[in-house]
């Protein structure tokens, strides 16, 4: 089952994860407020389904909300979801194959809109 998680670190910052079963597919940077983390989730739910997948390793370009496939320093590939203002919202782990990175983006496009949100910030 796909779901979003809202987490809080030891310094009080909030972040989100999109998870399938127990595997973290993508995660966000830290946010100062829980409201900002929730806004990130809402934006992914709304904008990911119609977002383009742009392969930066093939010098493709894009604008607006988009998934970007890029190459890490170790030669593996990863995805990030970029907002229309250019800000990176979430990124993935690295994958040994580009097809796995693309599958991650496709899964988010398909499953994010209906994914439940678990707020783990109040758990001791």
pLDDT at res. 124 = 52
pLDDT tens, residue order, the chain (124 aa): 999 999 999 999 999 999 999 899 999 999 999 999 999 999 999 999 999 999 999 999 999 999 999 999 999 999 999 999 999 999 999 999 999 999 999 999 999 999 999 999 976 5
pLDDT at res. 86 = 94
Quote the CA–CA distance of 37 and 23 in Å, as a whole number: 20
- Give phi and psi for 45, each to the nearest 5: -55, -40
Residue 117 CA: distances (Å) to CA of 13, 14, 57, 97, 122:
18, 14, 32, 29, 13
Residue 46 CA: distances (Å) to CA of 72, 83, 98:
28, 11, 25
pTM: 0.93
Q: Tokens in use for 50?
A: 């119609």
The CATH number of 2-119 is which of 3.40.720.10, 3.40.190.10, 2.60.40.2470, 2.30.29.80? 2.30.29.80
């Amino acid at each position: 089952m796909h779901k979003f998680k809202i987490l809080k670190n030891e310094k009080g910052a909030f972040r989100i994860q999109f998870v399938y079963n127990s595997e973290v597919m993508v995660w966000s940077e830290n946010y100062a407020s829980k409201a900002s983390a929730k806004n990130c989730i809402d934006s992914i739910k709304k904008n990911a389904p119609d977002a383009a997948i742009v392969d930066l390793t093939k010098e493709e370009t894009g604008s607006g909300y988009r998934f970007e496939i890029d190459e890490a320093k170790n030669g593996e590939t990863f995805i990030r979801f970029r907002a229309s203002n250019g800000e990176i919202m979430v990124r993935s782990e690295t994958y040994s194959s580009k097809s796995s990175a693309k599958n991650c983006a496709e899964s988010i496009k398909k499953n994010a809109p209906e994914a439940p949100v678990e707020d783990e910030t109040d758990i001791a």
